[in-house]
Structure 1
Amino acid sequence: MDQIVQLHPAAETTSRGKPDRDVPSVESSQLMSGRRELLIRHGASTYRLRVTASEKLILTK
């Protein structure tokens, strides 16, 4: 199940409080597509992104 997610420039701020328009941003709801867990392959490793009962995100290896 390969899916392409289009990223949009972020209007977020850096840790120094300055706008960072070069970092892409994606809504978690778009990324998760209604699921509570998502596997992310990065090189030889697989990570699990999970939405908790309190609607927080946890990324584990």
Structure 2
Amino acid sequence: MNQPSRAARINEADANRPDPAAPVVDSITLMSGRRELIIRHGAESYRLRVTASNKLILTK
């Protein structure tokens, strides 16, 4: 069998769980009524936009 062990499944679940100490910012506040914004991370720029189906997409 190639099923992951119980410990591996638990570790994977923990990795997908957000850090409870991480700050929470509502997307409405972040976007300030706009449909897109640019996020600078070091020398790189990323575009965060709200799609027509009201989903968020982050692209480089």
- TM-score, normalising length: structure 1: 0.67
State the structure with more CA Rg.
Answer: 2
Aligned residues: 47
Q: Which runs of 5+ in 2 are unaligned?
A: 1-12
Give the % identical residues. 68
Deviation at 1:46, TM superposition (A): 0.2
- Larger strand fraction of residues: 1
- TM-score, normalising length: structure 2: 0.68
Tell me which of the two structures has the higher relative contact order, counting C-alpha pairs closer than 8 angstroms and 6 or more residues apart.
Answer: 1
- Give the match for residue 47 of structure 1: 46
Q: Which runs of 5+ in 1 are unaligned?
A: 1-14
- Computed over aligned residues only, the root mean square deviation of the Cα atoms, in angstroms, reads 2.0
- Larger helix fraction of residues: 2
Deviation at 1:24, TM superposition (A): 1.0
